[in-house]
Each structure stands twice: as structure tokens, then as C-alpha cells.
Chain A
């Protein structure tokens, strides 16, 4: 699995925003606080966290919609933020995004064909012949499971799941290597969600695309991701192979997150047994706790957690298959709930 240059490598990413001053007089919201990521070719990296943890900001930085304050993004060894002109345009072609909201991410005044073909209006050399464009749109529609006759319909004539398929077709129009999916199924109904997840998996098999798959839904991430990173208040607090993270979480937050998500057992009961019910809510990112970010809600926090920011505690293989958690008292050493 491990290869010399990963498709995407992110190190020490920091990003903060200026916002209105809060009561304590702070006006810098730290959305990303030293984020590292690594993604291999044809892989899916799951990114899990609650709202406000910075996962959407991370997606926007990966797509160059925001510029990070610090840290590097290396895509195939190249820093896209250093690119200009033609090279930048060539880079844009290789990384695309599927947005959460299939309603807001499609311009309601354009037809499906216009929407899917929109990237080619910038990348004119990709499909220069208008007749070929039409054929290519039909191909893409077919690829995502829509009909050729849908090409001239407007977004409001489609259901939510169909719109998300248009969004996926648009992302595929430039034949990217990497697609960042920001909660691609959270606005969809369950039966439709399964269709879209299958479509994404199928496209990965056929086209070899890699995904950064952002979601708050653990069961979805568990199903699609090869590796998982868990975010909390701008930091990645746990990272590792999916099964390992889900079966033997190192960080108490990961354990709590999995415990809080209601599960459904085959016998029709809710699984999970005893819940770890976190008290309180996410602290304000304007004023994050000192030391370990999670200590204000952690049931095993000690004095040390307030003063020292924990280093990653690792388990298992060498990178990239290493399972790491940032906790002074990782759970593998203490049973859950102790």
C-alpha cells in the first residue's frame, strides 16, 4: 500500500478567520490548527467530525478556495498554491469537489447539460468540438445513471438524489484524480443515499479516482473509507485504518462519537448498549481549551490534560497504516468508561 509519493499530502495546515470580537475580546477563529493528511492513489480517506470542527474549511483549502495561513499542501509532490496561469489551470482539472447541498451547488438557471459542461468553458482544450461536448455530456449522464433526455432539464425538475448525480457528473467532467466529497449524501434520503454511495464506489473502481470523503455520519464513513481521520476543534485527534479506528479507538472522543451515533442491529434493536453520553457541547473555536482540546468534555481528563497538548500515540504498522491518537491516556491502555 505505501508508496513513495502519496497523491495528496498535507502537513501542518493552519487557517484562522477574523470574526466579530466575542466577550473575551477574541476575534480569531482557528478553524484548522496543524492538520496533517495523507492519501494514496485510488484510496478513500474518511474525515469525521461534528459541525464546527473545521472539516469543511479543510475541504475548501484542499480545493484552493481558501489560502492556508501556514502549512503545506502537496499534490503529487507539487504545491498548488505556488502555481500560476496554465499550470494552475492544469491542477484545477485534477482535483474536483462534490458539494453537500445538491440544491445550492447547482445554478438553477442552467440546464443539466450546461451544468455538466460548465468546466469545459474554462478548460476549452479538453473537449473543443461542440458536437463532441454533447456526446460527452450524454456519456457522463449515463455514467451517473441519468438519461440522455435529462440533459435539457433544469435542476428544479430533478429530485435531490438526481441533482447530486449531476453534481458528481460535473466533478467528473474534468476527469480528476481526486474528488473531495463534502457530506455528499447527508442531504439525501436513506434509500437514495445508498444509490449515491454505490455510484461513488463504482466510479472509483472504474476510473481509479481517490476520494476525501467528509461526513458526520460514522456508518457512512465506515462503509466507504480505507482510512479515517477524526477531527475535533481544528485538530486531527485520531487517524488510522478504518476498521482499526472503529474497532479499537484510541481517543475518548472517537469512542464517544461512535457511541453517540445510534446504531441499528440486525435484530431490530438499537445497538451499542451503554452509551458514553458526553456532557456539554463543543467549546467555542474562538476560545479553545488549553492543552488537550477535548478535556472539557472528557470523562478521564486529568491535570496534565489542561497544560500539555498531547503528542500522537501510535499503534501498529509504519505510516501510512499506522493508527495514531492524540491523547495522554489513550483508550487501548484503559478500558472505556474507566
Chain B
């Protein structure tokens, strides 16, 4: 061969495997904290009820509306509600219910909505039109009304709540995924895949999903909050989670009337919702960077300097 094969050594730093994800996570304090919070929430939801026994439903009218204090053992740590039930125990109990409604609902709508959206956006034309019109119909129909109708007709079981919440949120993912796919399908590397004869689903899976995923995940984490609150509205109307089961949303709803006298009943589950959602959002933002090879190196920097770094690659490129 000729001189064309020469390639100067050392022009680029030695090839390296991308750093392990947990090392990257360790470098980003915010994301690490968020991951720990989410881990704790999950752990609580799974193991909490086993440890607590019946503490969440044990009533003690003498202990009604006790404020948070250290005087009454662990169960009294976060105060009690009107029936004297431990708010802490109820929070732990509710974590499981809340997650078992919100997570499947979000996952279901994420998967179904994204799949249809990417399919529609990738193919365009009539398939896209039909998918989008259906999405518009679902979106234009008040989801709460839909939920009320469905849940009055059928029993308000967890599965039905999950189904109805998921159905109402599918258009959100469908639209996002369609927009991403419609833009990505005109990219050259998608054309390249087509010249190899790659069929549409493998192309979507290989080239569209990985790029659209971080955006969809971000939408999903925001939606997580929305779903939890929707569930609480349903519970408030009496067609959501049925007592004696309890969810964070239901706790917020029930505690509203005591907001002035016993703030902890409504505020603490609210804090739980916010903490969980914010952690999920932070983690999603981190995932967005960590899955992008061109951006990943930013995570190895101290947080304060990240914004400045954009120009680097352009200068040295």
C-alpha cells in the first residue's frame, strides 16, 4: 500500500474502554444521591411492609393527630393521622401501592406509545396519519372523565387503574417518539442501514431507539409524577385505591382537610412524591449523558465546569 495507510500515533489519546457506569455515577454527586434515594424508595416498597406488620392500619384514637416527635418510638416519628395511625408506617405501606400503580402505568404507556410512535414516524405517510389522529382523539378526551366512566363500570382494581392511566398517557410518548423518529429517519446513518437491506424494525431498534430513548425517559420521569397525582385524584373520588389500601396520592387527598391543623398528614406524602420524582428526573438526565459516547466524558468532570466544555471538541476536531 501507499502512504495512505500511515496513521500517526498519539494524535488521539490511547483507545480506552468507556468507564464503568457506576464509576461515572460516583463522579456525579447529584445523580449518585438521586440513585440512592430511588434505591431506598424501592427497598422500602419491597421490604417495608414485612417489617411493619400491621402498624399501618393499627388505629389508636387516643393518639389521634399527634405531631412528629421522638417521644413515641419509631411509629410516632412522623406523627399520626386522625385515626391515630402512624404516618411513617402508612408512608412505607403506601410506597408499595404507589409504585405498583405508577411504575407499571408509566412503563406500559412508555413501551406502547414509543413503539407505535417510532413505527409511525419511521414509515410516515398513512400509518403516521392514522396513529396521530388516534393519539389526538385520546388526548382530546378528558382523561379523568374517561377514568371515571371506566372505573365506575368496571371495578376500581389496581389493574384497571394502571390500564386506564397508561391508556391516557400513551399519546404523550407516541407524539414524542414520532417526532424523534421522523427526524432521525432522514439521517444518513439510517439511509446507510437501508442500503444494507436492514428491515424497518431492526433499523428502529438499532438507530432510532437508542437516540430517542433518553428523551422518552425524561418524559417518562416527568410523567411518573403526573401519574401519581392522577392516581390520587382517582382515589380522592373514591374510584382509585380503595381503603384500607393506601397510596401517597390517597394520603395527600385525605390529609388535605387537616392541612391547617395537622400539616404532616398531607405534606409528608407530598414530599415523598416530589423526592421520588426529582430523583428520577435527575437520574434520567444523567442517563441521557451517560449513554451518549460523545457526551459521556463530561461526566468525568466536576459538575461546575461542565457548561464550559462544549467548545472543546469543536476546537480540536
Contact = CB atoms under 8 A, between A and B. Distances in A.
Q: Indicate yes or no for A touching B, C-beta below 8 A.
A: yes
Interface of A: 60, 63-65, 88-89, 92-93, 95-97, 99, 101, 104-109, 118-119, 121-123, 145-147, 149-150, 152-160, 162, 167, 170, 174, 195-196, 198-199, 202
Contacts of A123: 196-197
Contact of A109 (B7, B191, B202, B292): B292
Contacts of A155: 293-294
Contacts of B317: 159-160
Nearest to B293: A154
A64 B2 CA distance: 34
B188 A99 contact: yes
Given A105-B192, A107-B207, A174-B196, A145 B6 contact: yes
Interface string B215-226: 000000000000
B106 to A, nearest CB: 24
A97 B195 contact: yes
A108 B293 contact: yes
Given A107-B207, A122-B198, A198-B2, A145 B292 contact: no
A60 B196 CA distance: 13
B206 interface: yes
Given A150-B15, A154-B294, A145 B4 contact: yes
B11 to A, nearest CB: 7
Interface residues of B, number: 34
Contacts of B193: 118
B313 interface: yes
Contact of A99 (B11, B12, B191): B191
Contacts of A170: 192
B72 interface: no
A99 B193 CA distance: 12
A65 B195 contact: yes
B213 to A, nearest CB: 10
A195 B294 contact: no
A168 B188 CA distance: 14
B300 interface: no
Contacts of B187: 104
B257 interface: no
Contacts of A158: 12
Contacts of A147: 7
A92 B192 CA distance: 11
Contacts of A198: 2-4
Nearest to A107: B189
Contact of B194 (A65, A89, A93): A65
Contact of B196 (A107, A122, A160): A122
A-B pairs, 5 with minimum CB distance: A92-B197, A154-B293, A105-B188, A145-B5, A119-B196
Contacts of A108: 292-294
Contact of A145 (B7, B11, B15, B207): B7
Contacts of B157: none
B7 A157 contact: no
Contacts of A92: 195-197
A107 B211 CA distance: 9
Interface in B170-223: 187-189, 191-199, 202, 206-207, 210-211
Contact of B210 (A97, A105, A106, A109): A109
Nearest to B196: A119
A108 B7 CA distance: 22
Given A99-B192, A202-B2, 6 more contacts: A104-B187, A105-B191, A105-B192, A121-B206, A152-B15, A202-B4
